[in-house]
Chains A and B, each alone.
Chain A
């Protein structure tokens, strides 16, 4: 069996004797007999490292790694600079615990402080936390943040990613908050519909920019309606797009959240990902999760610490603003290294390239008979098209060529595909795919 117990059986025996016991079994004398397990666990025998490697590689080999990906929907294949993987492979970062002991954790704490600063810059907001589990839970936490004694109704646009909506629903179920869906019109949030739903009991309005269909929402209109009210404006955003797109702050949002996976984290079959949350200064003390602050030590040296801990579970217990304990520290560091490597220009370039490739892809697809844009609005790097035959058949053929095509939508868009392109998709890949699609009868 493989083991990471360094002490040999002889050493273990000596230790047992040193404490006056004769066998391992004696250590568990306080466990009542009726609870003691009398059989072995029903788990295969342990293996050497080499055997584990072979077995796991076989399992990994059962998965298909696509050469070309044209699918997004909340998980995006972007270029990850080599320095990102290098830095985040450092053992001191990977195996460290939460930086509660500030004196020996300045490295981790400073990296989070830098991350927080970058998220503020990206979103235009004034305060950021140290991250939460993912974009969907970030949105749910933001909705909960907006709760007031008399305002417990969350209005969430139908054009928000369905998984985010479902997560918010689960979080609110059983609490005194409720959620209502703002209808969509032509793939965008129905502003008139929103206006008719607003009331004195409205806690917040949540829209996604770009939305689930890739379309750019009229964030100004929403901002205009909510300005001067006590209703919180929550915007879920794509962090790469913020290289060129208007920030949630500029739209007048109170809270900005989103999925940080595009910032240097690989597809990972869905996790671990990264939820970022940023807000206005006014809402600082309502932010859930860890936050790093800057201070000094007794010698006046710059020092970083976990701060505002009076919000958190280990102090306030059932009165805490959220139960969240961990952040996605290593993922947050990944995002920070990515943003440092990209810089302002690089991020803008990634955004422009993603947008350009997507628009070129859309133009070329629409050359094919039966493919047309379902929505005519402006979009960032995702869009929906009809297909001239069975969508599954198209995807199967593309798959044979190592291409992961657009995401097959359901419900009222059944038969349509939600496409995505990023800076990693080349003109050649796009042209090649279009050639394949043209040949499908």
Chain B
């Protein structure tokens, strides 16, 4: 398919702006660009068709089943998008005076209230623009807390080896050294390893619960206590919150700070890779360190409070991905307390249903036939016996019109496929997918070669990724 740069013609353009109605200003030549600006020269017709073609080569939640473990690809309600388009939200300048943006401040305040209730935290900040950004912010809260108490020897963050890559990356970025601890054979945090790893240099410990294998860490109280006793703080990665809304709360498990992924648990759309929103929540003792500005209420009026000498400062400009928070708020208003719990219950039901129907065919090494909102299949045996890898299996699923599960994560499972159906799928869809999976498994055993060159029905086949990295072509060149 052609690029925008390869279609069009030199003088094609749109007629978007009027003539200048004031004297035309000019500047000194030394400030002007001499380098030609080569943007596409296309008409509106061509733009419209181009992006329609691109949309047909994309796969949204509206296209089919999207069981990406750890991503929570639940249905994105359209009412949320409609609310985000209201001029009263979309056309507001971030530097308007506080009395003209009471509605915006209320959105943040309400979202904070609801999310604190869901997580058991005492405050929530919406500046972080994504999950990893929230992790970085939360870790900086931990850093600021220890520094404030002159406990500067605490420079280690402990992370289980099953953690998402952003966990250690965020810790490193926040200035910590990362200590990885192994998981047990059952896939849980090795409590003894944790006990041996904590010490006077422990700043904190990061965990997601349910963990990245989709199992609830039953020893969670012991885990958080061990870290606290050693003087460290505990960080909750909220990526898997969809399993426990209204059922359990990180605040009750002994966590000091959390981040949430609004684009996962709270139904805001993924946008093809963003924008998301990764608010940070914390207990009272960490509130002084939250990013500035905070929103405060004085005599019924909401305002920004810039005063905070203990704050870690800003993690980005303005106040966060506001329109994403609008969507999440609309979602929480729609579901309410009962609906949020219902969502989690059905997320876990759907996952267990799929697991139950697949466990006699596939190796599901952890959980003993049960899981929370996601489960991990291992195709290690298939790989050994028939040379069919998780990648081969996933690529063949594409020919079935299904987005594959998450591949090769967590690292502690070999040839992993992590399945998370979410609560918004119908039973029929689940039954259909279960049938596909079983059929494919059959095929993999009887005709393994037929899974090696897939997909065959998509716009392209497997791309040469090695070549792409070896000889990077990262932009179009007309010559």
Q: In the complex, what residues of B have CB within 8 A of residue A319's CB?
A: 172
Give the residue of A4, A14, A309 whose beta carbon is less than 8 angstroms from that of B267: A4
Interface residue B310 (Cβ < 8 Å from any Cβ of A):
no
- Whether A318 pairs with B169 at a CB distance below 8 angstroms is yes
Q: In the complex, what residues of B have CB within 8 A of residue A136's CB?
A: 314, 316-317
- Whether B37 pairs with A133 at a CB distance below 8 angstroms is no
- Whether B60 pairs with A92 at a CB distance below 8 angstroms is yes
Query: Total A-B residue pairs with C-beta atoms closer than 8 Å?
Result: 662
Q: In the complex, what residues of B have CB within 8 A of residue A101's CB?
A: 59, 394, 398, 403-404
Of A169-177, A187-195, A225-233, the stretch lying at the interface with chain B is A169-177
Interface residue B153 (Cβ < 8 Å from any Cβ of A):
no
Interface residue A75 (Cβ < 8 Å from any Cβ of B):
yes
Interface residue A413 (Cβ < 8 Å from any Cβ of B):
no
Q: How far is the CB of B479 from chain A (nearest CB, A)?
A: 13
- Whether B89 pairs with A269 at a CB distance below 8 angstroms is yes
Q: How far is the CB of A340 from chain B (nearest CB, A)?
A: 5
Q: In the complex, what residues of B have CB within 8 A of residue A308's CB?
A: 469, 472
- Whether B76 pairs with A340 at a CB distance below 8 angstroms is no
| Contacts A47-B333, A303-B463; A268 near B90 (Cβ below 8 A) | yes
| Contacts A174-B175, A337-B51, A343-B40; A303 near B315 (Cβ below 8 A) | no
- Whether B20 pairs with A353 at a CB distance below 8 angstroms is yes
Of B192-200, B248-256, B280-288, B442-450, the stretch lying at the interface with chain A is B248-256
- Whether B460 pairs with A63 at a CB distance below 8 angstroms is no
Q: In the complex, what residues of A have CB within 8 A of residue B175's CB?
A: 173-175
Interface residue A333 (Cβ < 8 Å from any Cβ of B):
yes
- Whether B117 pairs with A43 at a CB distance below 8 angstroms is yes
- Whether B140 pairs with A340 at a CB distance below 8 angstroms is no
- Whether B140 pairs with A71 at a CB distance below 8 angstroms is no
How far apart are the CA atoms of A2 and B343 in the complex, in Å? Answer: 10
Q: In the complex, what residues of B have CB within 8 A of residue A108's CB?
A: 54, 58, 272-273
Give the residue of B4, B93, B100 whose beta carbon is less than 8 angstroms from that of A75: B93
- Whether B467 pairs with A295 at a CB distance below 8 angstroms is yes
Interface residue B334 (Cβ < 8 Å from any Cβ of A):
yes
Interface residue A259 (Cβ < 8 Å from any Cβ of B):
yes
Q: How does the 8 Å CB contact mask read for A206-248 relative to B, with 1 for contact and 0 for none?
A: 0000000000100010000000000000000000001111110
A24 (CB) vs chain B CBs: closest residue: B345
- Whether B20 pairs with A352 at a CB distance below 8 angstroms is yes
- Whether A270 pairs with B462 at a CB distance below 8 angstroms is no
How far apart are the CA atoms of A62 and B316 in the complex, in Å? Answer: 26
Q: How does the 8 Å CB contact mask read for B338-362 relative to A, with 1 for contact and 0 for none?
A: 1111110110111011001000000
Interface residue A153 (Cβ < 8 Å from any Cβ of B):
no
- Whether A378 pairs with B56 at a CB distance below 8 angstroms is no
Interface residue A180 (Cβ < 8 Å from any Cβ of B):
no
Q: How far is the CB of A246 from chain B (nearest CB, A)?
A: 5
Interface pairs (7), CB distance under 8 Å: A5-B343, A63-B104, A102-B460, A117-B3, A128-B474, A268-B90, A343-B39
New A-B contacts (15) at CB < 8 Å, excluding given A4-B423, A343-B13 = A14-B427, A24-B349, A47-B334, A60-B88, A65-B88, A93-B58, A97-B68, A108-B54, A131-B274, A133-B129, A295-B468, A305-B465, A344-B37, A356-B23, A359-B23
Which A-B residue pairs are the 6 nearest by beta carbons?
A46-B336, A270-B318, A60-B88, A330-B271, A270-B94, A329-B273
